[in-house]
Chain A
Amino acid sequence: MNIAELQAYGYFALTVFMVLVLYGYIYHLYSKKEDADGHDYEEYSNIALRDDVTDTPVSAISDDKEK
């Protein structure tokens, strides 16, 4: 097998892998309502709607670093 053939197989394998990852992600997304942090995905729309600097973040980064 020469390098070009190897590249072609590699390319094909990568494509199959990426298709699986994409479909896996779609399944993951639509099979549950909440993400790992326990937030309903749709809540994240509020990040744009309530975006004043004084508004409470939808999912805040811990405050310890801000001191």
Chain B
Amino acid sequence: MENRPLEYDYTVAKMFMFTTIVLGIVGMLIGVILAFQLAFPEVNTILGQGLAEYTNFSRLRPLHTDAVIFGFTLSGIFATWYYVGQRVLKVSMAESGFLMFIGKLHFWLYLVGVAAVVVTLFMGITTSKEYAEFEWPIDIAIVVVWVLFGISIFGLIGIRREKSLYISIWYYIATFLGIAMLYLFNNMEIPTMLAASPAGESGIGAWYHSVSMYAGTNDALVQWWYGHNAVAFGFTVPIVAMIYYFLPKESGQAIYSYKLSLLSFWGLMFVYLWAGGHHLIYSTVPDWMQTMGSIFSVILILPSWGSAINMLLTMKGEWQQVAASPLIKFMVLGSTFYMFSTLEGPIQAIKSVNAIAHFTDWIVGHVHDGVLGWVGFMIMAALYHMAPRVFKREIYSKSLMATQFWIQTLGVVLYFTSMWIAGITQGMMWRAHDEFGNLAYSFIDTVTVLHPYYTIRGVGGLLYLVGFLMFAYNIYKTMTVGRKVEESELQNASPMGA
């Protein structure tokens, strides 16, 4: 047998890096279109009345959310798993033909799933459950993809050389288990072809159509238990997994306190699952449940800040690296945005604040400072760190990366500040009444007042998209023309061209 030294095999990581970038562009582009539709309704029919069905807000909105959540973010999670997993377990995918096969199958089935989602959502085929719009055949396909992800995780763990599981691995495992549980329970549904009406009809509706097993308040409870914990196990847990690996590695600094990472992990696991009720404050769910959702949301600050502070303190004594490296900037600002949005969320979950915030644009602003500032920044930073190691070339341009950082930061700031003002204005106007209790404003009054802020939001989103295209270009150039580097240059700080 050939006696080549053992190396990590990034074949599958590369495949998922590709979908991270492509689906990121698609999801964010649709997001920008939606933002401008809200500011300028004509954009709804931008391709003419004939195609209005495919370009209107309601058809595109689930495509935006699903493309950025299940496309961009999930691909980023998979890409980093197939990179970080091997490295911290000290075992190469090349050592197991079985795991390599599973990894590739995972990718290709995922791609089939993505294609099915894009086509069906464009056609308007949906279960109408937010973030769970896929009909049952696609749900089953997604479960298979997820099981393959699980086999990859536990398969790699099974053949590891490092006995102790690094903190990131715990977070990846939690992602796997959390999403599996949430997805299965929220998507319990009955295909309508199996149902019979009281009149005795059977085989109702299209074969792919289904209805949820839950109804009314139960449906709302399960839906927001799912919806909020999708934020937990999709936007928080795996992203924390990434920063616990990539920030120490890129900066060459050990985690400030490994113990604190363990404490925060179990704290987060304990608290997060209870907080979803805050989406249903002042609705028809039991009052104690609303209060519990509110209280647990406030407690959630502790484990969230435990992780975020741990990350910032990891840079202790090394802050010059933040100034010197745009890659570190992305992660440090990401961590800061994580602190910021995990403080903002609990504030919104306080009942009296929620009375103003509920259903307003402030919620949209909150989601986006989290996903743009934290999730997006961290995934891009992870891919920037991975690129030189995966392609054995230096990052094409440091100055392009720095420019991208500032453009996107400005974009995020414009996005959340405009949504704060819009949201609070909206909340106050909805509540305002005269001395007899008559509402002071009609709906259209709020629309008129909010128009400038919607425009600013559109511009903020556009800046973020421009930055993302710069990121895609930088990675493409890294892959194709970046200077070739030796293994010795890849220890800590990533090599970057001018």
Q: Which residues of A contact B (CB under 8 A)?
A: 18, 22, 25-26, 29-30, 37, 39, 41-49, 51, 53-55, 57-61, 66
Contact = CB atoms under 8 A, between A and B. Distances in A.
A44 B270 contact: no
A42 B257 contact: yes
B6 A44 contact: no
Interface of B: 5-8, 86-88, 90-92, 160-164, 166-168, 244-245, 248-249, 252, 254-255, 257-259, 262-263, 266-267, 270
A51 B259 contact: no
A36 to B, nearest CB: 11
Nearest to B164: A59
Contacts of A43: 258
Question: Looking at A37, A42, A58, A61, which has the most chain B CB atoms within 10 Å of its CB?
Answer: A61
Contact of B8 (A25, A30, A53, A66): A53
A46 to B, nearest CB: 7
B266 A22 contact: yes
Contacts of B168: 48
Contact of B266 (A25, A48, A55, A60): A25
Contacts of A59: 162-164
B314 to A, nearest CB: 9
A49 B249 contact: yes
Question: Looking at A25, A37, A44, which has the most chain B CB atoms within 10 Å of its CB?
Answer: A44
A43 to B, nearest CB: 8
Contact of A51 (B87, B252, B255, B263): B87
A25 B268 CA distance: 14
Contacts of B252: 49
B90 A39 contact: no
Contact of B166 (A44, A53, A55): A44
A48 B247 CA distance: 10
Given A47-B166, A48-B244, A53-B86, 15 more contacts: A22-B266, A29-B259, A30-B263, A42-B258, A42-B259, A47-B162, A48-B88, A48-B248, A51-B88, A53-B87, A53-B92, A57-B161, A58-B164, A60-B162, A61-B161
B178 to A, nearest CB: 16
B167 A44 contact: yes
A25 B87 CA distance: 28
Question: Looking at A47, A51, A55, A58, which has the most chain B CB atoms within 10 Å of its CB?
Answer: A47
Contacts of A57: 90, 161-163
Contacts of A41: 258-259, 262
B6 A54 contact: yes
B163 A61 contact: yes
Contacts of B90: 51, 53, 55, 57
A51 B249 contact: yes
A61 B156 CA distance: 14
Nearest to A66: B161
17 contacts: A26-B263, A29-B262, A37-B163, A37-B164, A46-B254, A47-B162, A49-B249, A49-B252, A51-B87, A51-B88, A51-B249, A53-B90, A54-B5, A57-B161, A57-B163, A60-B162, A61-B161
Nearest 7 pairs of A and B residues by beta carbon: A45-B254, A51-B87, A57-B162, A47-B166, A59-B163, A45-B255, A61-B163
A1 B245 CA distance: 51
A42 B262 CA distance: 11
Contacts of B267: 22
Given A26-B263, A42-B258, A55-B90, A48 B163 contact: no
